[in-house]
Structure 1
Amino acid sequence: MRAIQAYSKSSSFIVSFIFTTLLLIAVIFNTYVLTVASDDLLIRETEAAILADIGGFRSLYNAAGRPAVVRALENRVDNINNDFLYYLKNGQDEFIAGNLATWPGANTLPIKNGLLEIQVDLRPNQDNVSRRANKETAIAMIVEFGNKDTMLVARSVKDIEFALKLAQTSSYVLIVIVCIISILSIVVAYYVVSRINLMSDTADEIISTGNLSDRLYVESSWDDLSKLSLALNKMLDKIEQSVNSIQNVSDSIAHDLRTPLTRLKSHIEQIEHPEKHALIGECDNIMAIFNSLLRITDIETSAKRAGFADENLSAVAVDAIELYQPVMEEKEISLDVKISPNLRLHCDKNLIFQAFANVIDNAVKFTPQHGQISVSLTSQQDSESGQQQYCFSINDSGIGVNEAVIDKLTQRFYREDKSRTASGNGLGLALVAAIVSLHKGDISFSRTALEAESGLQCNLTLPA
C-alpha cells in the first residue's frame, strides 16, 4: 500500500504550495510598487522639491529684487552637487542667469499640476561638462516674478531614474530567484513523496511476500531519505539473519530426526503390542510434520521454477475438488462449484494442486455435518494494477476464526484455540502461503460469504 496515494494530498506538496503562494504574492506586490507607485512617488517628490525652491526664490525676489535672485542663482550654479537647473529671463526673453543654455522649446511635454518634462541643454562651462552630460531629462516648472521676469526651475531626474532602474533590476532578479525557489520546492516535494512511496511499496512487498532478502532502493548517500533507507536495510539484514537462523535450526532438527524416527517406526512394526498401531500413527504424524517443514523451507528458500509449465488451472481445481468429494458426501456437506473453463496459467501443477487441496481439506475438516461449502475459480481484473488474475475462492459454514487472528493463519504451527481439537499440525496454510508466494500471488481470509452463522472464506489470487 502506498504511503501517499495522491501527490497533491501530501504534506510536502501543501507546504511547498503555501510557500510558493506567499512568495508569489510578495513578488506581485513588489512589482506593483515598482511599476506603478514608484512613478507617482518620483513625480510627487520632484514636484515638492521644485515648489519649495520656487517659494524661496519668490520670497527672495519680493524682498530684494532681481539682483538678489541672480546672486543666489550664481551660488547655486557654482555648487557641483546641486541637481537643480535654472533659466532666468526678462520680458524680452533675454537670458539673465542660470545654468541652462536655452529656454526649452518644442520638446517640452506637460505632466500635471504645471510640471513639464524637458530636455536639458547645459551652458558650456568646464564645471557643467565635468559634472554631467550636456543632454538629459528633467522635470521643470515656470514661475513669473514682477517686471515680467520669468524663471524656469528644473530638477534632473537622472540619479533618481538610475536608482529606480537599479531597484527594478533587483526586483526582476528577485522574481527569477523566487521562481527558481518555487520550482525547486515543488521538485523537492515531488522527490520526497516519490521516495517515500517507493520505500512504502518495497516494505509492503516484503511484508506481503515474506521475502526478507529484498531491500530498499538507495540511489545516493547525501540525502536523509537515503540514509534512512540504509538504516532500514541494515535492520532487514539483522531480521533476515535471525529468521534464517531460526528456520535453519528447525529445519536441521526436522532433517536430522527423520532418520532415527524412521528406524524407531521400523522397530515398532517388528514388535507385538496392543498399542502398536497407535504408536505407528504417531510416528507417521511426526514424519508428516518434518516433511511439511522441509517442503515449506524448500519452496521459500530455493524458489524452484523447474516444474513450471503452461497448465489448465481449471482442470487442477476440478481434480482437487473431486479428491475430497467422497469425504463431503460422507458428512452430507452441500457443495456448490463454479469453475470457469480452460483458465491457463504458467505454474507448477503439483504445487498448485497441493495448495488447492490444503484449503479444501481445511474447509471440509472444520465444516460440521450437513454444512455448506462453495468453491469457485474465476478470472478477474485487479482494480489497482489493471492486470488479469485468477481467484480460487472457497467458502464454508464451519466454526470460522476470530477476525483478530486472521493474519496469523499462515504462520507455522499456528492453530486457533477452538480448532485444536481437530487433527492437524498447523502447517497446511503455511505451505499454501509459500506456494502462492512462489507464483507471485496472494492469500487472504475473511468471513464466509455464505448465509451461515459462522464460517471462513479463503481466497488464493494468482496473476494470469
Structure 2
Amino acid sequence: MTRLTRFTRTTAFKLSLLYIAVFTLLSGFLLIYISENTDHLMSEQVVQTIDAELKGLSDIYVRGGVRDLVETIDRRSRHPDASLYLLVDFSGNALVGNIARLPTTVLEEADGGIRRVHYTRIGQDSPDTQRQAMVRTFELRGGFRLLVGRDLGEQLRFSHLLGNALRLWLIVVVVMGAITWLFVSRRVMKRIDEITDTSRTIMTGDLTGRLPIAGNDDEFDRLAVSLNTMLDRIELLMRSMKDVTDNIAHDLKTPLTRLQTRVETALRQAEGQNRYKEALEETLSETDHLLRIFNALLRIARIESMAPGEVMERVDINNLINEVSELYEPLVEDEGGVLETQVSGGLEAVCQKDLVFQGLVNLIENALKYGRPKDGEFRIRISASEHEGRVVLNVSDTGPGIPEKDQDRVKDRFVRLDESRSEPGTGLGLSLVKAVARLHGGELQLTNGDPGLVARIDLTRARPGSSGSSNGHGGQSDGANPKPE
C-alpha cells in the first residue's frame, strides 16, 4: 500500500492520468464527430434516393395511371434490396408493396414529410420482427396513398460498428496509457532512486559517490553530468582544504617549534642587550617566513574559490611577457644567465592579467632556484604561441629537470624534492601556478626538455572583436602587486 501510494503521488503518474484523459477525450470527440457526420451523410443519401423514387413513380402514375404504378411497384418490390414500397386505396387496403406491418398513423399523415418508422417486411420477417426505415408518404389522385422508403439496417449496423470501435479504442487508450505509465514510472523512479541513493552516500561524507549515467543523453543524463561536475568541484575543494589543513599541521610545526625554542633559549641564556636584539631579529625573520606561508595559502585559496571567467579581460600576451622580461632580465643576468622571449605577433588572451603575471613570475623564480645546469649556459626562455584555439605559455630552463614520477607531486602544496631543500622556499610556488591555470580552464604541465624543465600553462584565446573585460571590472584584483610565493 505504501509503494502504491508512493507511485500515485509521482509526477509520472499524474502526467499519465492527464495524457489518458486528454487522449480519451480527443479520441471520443473524433469518433463521435465521424459517427455523427457519417450518419448525417447516409441520411441525406437515403432522402435523395427516396425523393428520386417518388419522382419516378409519380411520373409513371401520371402517364399510365394506377395500373402501371401497381405493376412497377410490384416488380420493384420483388428485388431483395433496401427499397420499401406500399400503395393503399382510399379505404386503407394494401394494393401492392413489400411492407407487411406499419403504424397506421404513417399512412394517415400523407403530408410528404420524412419519417423514421418501425416496420415488418413481407416474406422476410416474422410478425414480431421490427426494422427501422426512413419513409415519405404522399396522397395521389383518387384517394390513393403511396409510401416510398429505405431500410436503415446497413446504416444502423455501421453506426453500431463505429460505437464498438469507439469503446474498443477507449479501452485500448486506457490500457496503453496504463502500460506507458508503468514503464515510465519504473524507469523514472529507478533513476530518481539512484540519484537519491547517491545523494545519501554523499551526505554520509563519502564525496567519491557520483550519479550514474545511462549514456542515452536524456534529461537525466544531462542532470547527472552537471551534478557530477559540481561534485567533482566540491570534492576538489574539500580535498584541497583537507590537504591545506594537514600540510599546515605538519609543515608549520617545525618553524613554530623552532620559533618557540629560540624564544626560550633567549630567555634562559641571553646576556646583554645585543643578544636579546639578535634573538628578536631571528624571531622576526622566522615570523616573516610563517606570514609568507600563510599569505601564499590564502592567495591560493582565493584563486581556487574564484568562478571561471571572473574578472577576465582581453590581454596582449606580447606586452605581458615584455613586462615580466623587463622585471627579471637584470636579475637573471646578475645570476649569470640569459632571459629570452619568443612570442607570436598579435596574440591576445582572455585572462586575469595580474594572476597570469604572478604565475609567470613564480615559474621564473622556480627556474632561477632549480634550473641551473651543472655545466654549460644558464638560460631561461619565455614563449607564447597558439595551439588549437588556446594561447600556450611556456617557461623553460636548462637545468636538470624533474623526474617524471615527481612531476605531478611537486605541484601539490608544501612538496619540495630532496635536492631542493637546501634552497629557501615554501613549496607553494607551483601550487599557485596550478591554481591560476585551473582558473583559466587549463592545467599546469611539467615536462623534461632537452635539456631542462618546460612548464606550460594555456589560456583562452581572445576572439577578434570581443570585448575587453568580461564583467566590467577592468581586470583589477587582489594580485595587483605580484610577489613570488
What range describes the TM-score normalised by the shorter chain of this pair?
0.3 to 0.5
TM-score by length of 2: 0.43
TM-score by length of 1: 0.44
